[in-house]
């Protein structure tokens, strides 16, 4: 890099360079010739070492008043390299390149000389569609994936990115999902961390193949009509001494104060989010995945850890300079991140995994919000799972676990998540959480999924939940696909696919997710049944939802409806087709002329035991 290119460094040091990956790290500047740029502001010296030099040091030159070092050398793409840094104390340590695009397979930590991965993108129609359609008023039904354990080869080895294209993407599409959400694919060492303790902020993990193959995976998803979101972890990084920790011999990426740097909860180091160079580094990482790799969005992990001074264990009394709990640097960083992302990608999904009641997480920055466009609704998730785990006769005093969400469901733009975190570490799988014998567990699961798909908010389900896998998720082996030989599991999978496709083609279930006009409760004061109407934007566009939360069939159940006419039952969770017991189904309903629950008319149905019905107007009188 030449001195005449210093504007890049000026912006980087100001925290305003959002494509730093284009200049930092190693890039091939001519055939067989590579150039490298490194930020190590307190180093006495920096060199690059690798198999291209028999691991002998090739010194880099300091760029005055920038904290950066540069140099070039002869090498071949794919060769391994590390940085050799002489710290302020004179110690010589080897470190990764923070901007590397590829790494050697674990347990090694050397980067590979790999320039920006190349791909001939064929997803222009998808990109145009996403830019043309407002994100809030379209269906969003996310399938959360851990690529290392969805399926594996017969010998237990990982599928490659290329193998995943035919083995994962068509299945997700056929199941009726709109997007996949990938647990972090940035390079990480420990499989059991699931990618949340990472080191390579610009490198798709080598576990599944080279970076170009990951781009092919994204492109294939888009051409199939699937969006791709990835979990992204800007709050903290792994402790390993040859990665980012004490990078130049001082606290470079982490806080200088060891107490603030130490993330006790996850055994990692917290990024110093107030440091301008760290802001450039992290926002450039976000831009790399969104811009260069064509991802449709990022689910930002552990936002609460960046919002509060006292979030972590042992920090209960930590306060900011004003005496408050807020992490002022974290708040400013998140606003800066979202401002930068939406300036470049207004159609992007920026999703906060935030577990507290911090206000306006998904509100615009100019109105006092953090600027995300979605937030996970962890309260809804916890209350729902607690309710459905109860014996039905114990639920009578606890309907508020479901209805309490109605109090705050428009406070944020929510995604309703049944994520991987709820099916590990002894929490049991979704199906195993359900109460009763095996038949009733599936009946409860079907009703809970109707609650998910008809409650205001977008949707997320972790893999395996769609067919009621009994075992908890295990990251070290593939899902229990053998389950589908059981008619109950196969029926559950059919039910989920049917419900997903019904959701996608029913505007009343998603066009007004974030508008109070989108839902009207018609019957919810009793402890055993719920009835509500989801409204679309078009006149008379509605779906009536009825949930029976008890294992007792109800004859002549009166369902309030908004107008006289003929109605159709479009879904009955107790259909034999789904694993239920009903062979003959009610289809067409005529209004009775009897008002009910504030509605001008009603229909009578047989309400299945521990079942749910979805009803739509067929025609009007």
Q: Is the pLDDT reported for residue 2 higher than 80?
A: no
Return the pLDDT at 247.
98
Partnered with residue 534 across adjacent β-strands are 519, 543
Number of domains in the chain: 2
Q: Where do the H-state alpha helices sit in 185-322?
A: 211-223, 258-261, 276-287, 303-307
Q: Is the pLDDT reported for residue 3 higher than 80?
A: no
Residue 75 lies in a domain: yes
Cα 124 to chain centroid, rounded = 23
Look up the CATH number of the domain holding residue 614: 2.60.40.1180
Q: Among 97, 296, 353, 412, which one carries the catalytic annotation?
A: 353
Mean pLDDT calculated for residue range 570-583? 95
Residue 57 lies in a domain: yes
Is 254 considered catalytic here?
Answer: no
Mean pLDDT calculated for residue range 500-518? 96
Return the pLDDT at 4.
45
Q: What are phi and psi of 528, to 5 degrees?
A: -120, -25
In this structure, what DSSP letter does residue 160 have? P
225-263 burial: b if 16+ Cβ within 10 Å, else e: ebbbbbbbbbbbbbbbeebbbbbbbebbbbbeeeebbbb
Return the pLDDT at 339.
98
Domain final residue pick, 94, 112, 130: 112
* pLDDT, greater one: 133 or 410: 410
Residue 459 lies in a domain: no
The 10 Å Cβ neighbour count of residue 54 is 7
Q: State which H helix or E strand residue 459 sits in.
A: strand 458-462
Residue 194 lies in a domain: no
State how far the Cα of 179 lies from the Cα of 138, in Å rounded to an integer.
Answer: 12
Mean pLDDT calculated for residue range 547-569? 95
Q: Among 213, 262, 301, 513, which one carries the catalytic annotation?
A: 301
Give 30-47 pLDDT, tens digit per residue.
Answer: 999 999 999 999 999 999
Average pLDDT, the chain: 95
**Cα–Cα distances in angstroms (integers) from residue 305 to residues 106, 234, 298, 331, in the given order:** 28, 10, 17, 11
Q: Is the pLDDT reported for residue 175 higher than 70?
A: yes
Task: Indicate the pLDDT class of residue 135, thresholds 50, 70 and 90.
Answer: confident
Give 209-264 pLDDT, tens digit per residue.
Answer: 999 999 999 999 999 999 999 999 999 999 999 999 999 999 999 999 999 999 99
Domain final residue pick, 88, 112, 136: 112
State how far the Cα of 150 lies from the Cα of 185, in Å rounded to an integer.
Answer: 14
Is 301 considered catalytic here?
Answer: yes
Note down the domain range covering 592: 517-620
Residue 384 lies in a domain: no
Mean pLDDT calculated for residue range 187-215? 95
Q: State which H helix or E strand residue 227 sits in.
A: strand 227-232
The two most distant CA atoms of the chain are separated, in Å, by 89
Task: Indicate the pLDDT class of residue 525, thresholds 50, 70 and 90.
Answer: low
Look up the CATH number of the domain holding residue 11: 2.60.40.10
Return the pLDDT at 136.
86
* pLDDT, greater one: 254 or 620: 254
Residue 438 lies in a domain: no
State how far the Cα of 513 lies from the Cα of 508, in Å rounded to an integer.
Answer: 9
Residue 525 lies in a domain: yes
Stretch among 465-469, 546-550, 617-621 having the lowest mean pLDDT: 617-621
CA-wise closest residue to 147 among 233, 234, 238, 209: 209
Q: Is the pLDDT reported for residue 1 higher than 80?
A: no
Stretch among 203-207, 431-435, 539-543 having the lowest mean pLDDT: 539-543
Instruction: Give the pair of three-digit tokens for residue 240.
Output: 């390993």
DSSP code string of 399-432: THHHHTHHHHTTTS-EEEEE-GGGSSTTS--HHH
Return the pLDDT at 619.
58
Domain final residue pick, 112, 131, 150: 112
Residue 555 lies in a domain: yes
The answer to whether 38 touches 83, Cβ cutoff 8 Å, is yes
Task: Indicate the pLDDT class of residue 276, thresholds 50, 70 and 90.
Answer: very high
pTM of the model: 0.96
């Amino acid at each position: 890099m030449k001195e005449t290119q210093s504007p890049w460094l000026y912006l980087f040091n100001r925290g305003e360079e959002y494509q730093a990956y284009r200049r930092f790290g190693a890039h091939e500047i001519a055939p067989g010739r590579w150039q490298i740029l490194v930020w190590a502001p307190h180093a006495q010296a920096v060199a690059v070492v690798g198999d291209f030099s028999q691991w002998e040091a090739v010194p880099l030159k300091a760029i005055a008043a920038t904290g950066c070092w540069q140099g070039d050398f002869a090498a071949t793409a794919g060769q391994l390299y590390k940085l050799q840094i002489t710290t302020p104390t004179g110690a010589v340590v080897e470190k990764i390149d923070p901007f590397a695009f590829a790494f050697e397979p674990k347990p090694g930590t050397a980067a590979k000389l790999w320039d920006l991965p190349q791909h001939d993108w064929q997803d222009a129609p998808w990109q145009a569609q996403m830019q043309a359609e407002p994100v809030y008023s379209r269906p969003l039904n996310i399938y959360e994936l851990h690529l290392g354990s969805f399926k594996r080869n017969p010998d237990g080895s990982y599928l490659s990115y290329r193998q995943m294209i035919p083995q994962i993407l068509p299945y997700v599409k056929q199941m009726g999902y709109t997007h996949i959400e990938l647990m972090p694919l940035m390079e990480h060492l420990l499989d059991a961390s699931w990618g949340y303790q990472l080191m390579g902020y610009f490198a798709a993990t080598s576990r599944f193949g080279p970076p170009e193959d990951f781009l092919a995976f994204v492109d294939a998803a888009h051409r199939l009509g699937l969006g791709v979101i990835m979990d992204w972890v800007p709050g903290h990084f792994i402790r390993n001494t040859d990665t980012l920790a004490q990078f130049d011999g001082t606290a470079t990426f982490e806080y200088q104060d060891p107490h603030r740097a130490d993330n006790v909860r996850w055994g990692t180091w917290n990024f110093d989010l107030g440091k301008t160079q760290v802001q450039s580094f992290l926002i450039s990482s976000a831009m790399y995945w969104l811009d260069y790799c064509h991802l449709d969005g990022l689910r930002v992990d552990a936002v609460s850890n960046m919002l509060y001074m006292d979030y972590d264990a042992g920090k209960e009394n930590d306060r900011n300079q004003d005496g408050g709990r807020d992490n002022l640097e974290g708040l400013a960083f998140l606003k800066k991140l979202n401002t930068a992302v939406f300036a470049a990608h207004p159609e992007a999904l920026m999703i906060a995994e935030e577990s507290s009641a911090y206000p306006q997480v998904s509100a615009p920055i100019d109105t006092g919000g953090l600027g995300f466009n979605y937030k996970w609704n962890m309260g809804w998730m916890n209350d729902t799972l607690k309710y459905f785990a109860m014996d039905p006769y114990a639920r009578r005093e606890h309907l508020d676990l479901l209805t309490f969400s109605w109090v705050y469901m428009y406070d944020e733009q929510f995604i309703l998540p049944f994520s991987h975190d709820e099916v590990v570490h002894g929490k049991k799988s979704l199906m195993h959480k359900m109460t009763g014998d095996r038949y009733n567990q599936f009946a409860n699961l079907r009703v809970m999924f109707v609650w998910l798909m008809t409650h205001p908010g977008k949707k997320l389900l972790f893999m395996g939940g769609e067919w009621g896998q009994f075992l908890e998720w295990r990251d070290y082996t593939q899902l229990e696909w053998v389950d589908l030989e059981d008619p109950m599991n196969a029926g559950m999978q059919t039910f989920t696919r049917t419900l997903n496709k019904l959701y996608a083609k029913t505007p009343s279930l998603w066009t007004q997710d974030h508008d109070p006009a989108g839902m009207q409760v018609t019957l919810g004061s009793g402890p055993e049944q719920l009835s509500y109407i989801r409204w679309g934007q078009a006149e008379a566009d509605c779906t009536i939802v009825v949930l029976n939360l008890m294992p007792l069939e109800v004859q002549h159940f009166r369902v309030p409806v908004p107008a006289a006419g003929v109605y159709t039952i479009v879904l009955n969770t107790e259909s034999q087709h789904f694993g239920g017991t009903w062979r003959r189904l009610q289809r067409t309903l005529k209004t009775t002329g009897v008002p009910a629950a504030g509605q001008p008319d009603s229909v009578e149905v047989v309400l299945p035991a521990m079942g749910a019905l979805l009803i739509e107007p067929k025609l009007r009188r």
